[in-house]
Copies of this chain bind each other. A is one copy, B any other.
Amino acid sequence: MKPWTGQHSDAALEGTLIASRALLGVIARSLAPVMDTVTLPQFRVLVVLSNFGPQRMGELALHLGANQSSFSRFADRMVTGGLIARSASPDSRREVIIALTEVGERVYAEVTSARRREITEVLEKLSATDLDAVQAGFEIFARAAGEPSPDETLILGI
């Protein structure tokens, strides 16, 4: 099934590409202020911990597609940076649970709230009619595109 002609699709494609650049700008701007506190790979850890909660080292390493031994020292740096904390697992004394510290939470929140703020600023420029149109279009697109898998999103570290 091909409900539109080539020409029609091209316009929508170009529009989508332009919008995707605009959104990337938003995301980049929201990320910029914390880039001297965390590296992009480190920010990925904040994302995972924020969305999935405290986890064992191994689990986390798996989530991030990293070697466990690499991840241990990676975690060292983030602990030193005050972003995450190791703690003993209640289940087993050989397990180590990694959780966000308050600082880590704050850094993550800073980025997400900046993102919301930026988007709100854009939306505030719109008339009620345009806002409706944006909302409708984005919802339809998001539904068709589907949520990216966590792994996919993490490629970029966002």
Interface residues of A (CB under 8 A from B): 2-4, 8-9, 11-13, 15-29, 31-32, 35, 40, 115-116, 119-120, 122-128, 130-131, 133-142, 144-149, 152-156, 158
Give 18 CB contacts A-B under 8 Å: A4-B131, A9-B124, A12-B135, A13-B116, A15-B142, A17-B116, A18-B138, A19-B138, A22-B142, A24-B148, A24-B158, A25-B145, A25-B147, A25-B152, A29-B155, A122-B141, A126-B140, A134-B140
Residues on B with beta carbons closer than 8 Å to the beta carbon of A116:
13, 17
State the number of copies, please: 2
A145 touches B22 (CB 8 A): yes
Rounded to whole angstroms, the CA-CA distance of A29 and B153 in the bound complex is 8
If the complex has contacts A23-B23, A25-B145, are A3 and B128 also in contact, measured as CB distance less than 8 A?
A: yes
Expressed in whole angstroms, the Cα–Cα distance for A127 and B144 within the complex equals 11
Residue pair A115, B9 in contact (C-beta under 8 Å): no
Q: How far is the CB of A110 from chain B (nearest CB, A)?
A: 15
Minimum CB distance partner of A127 in chain B: B3
Residues in chain B near residue A128, CB distance under 8 A: 3-4, 8
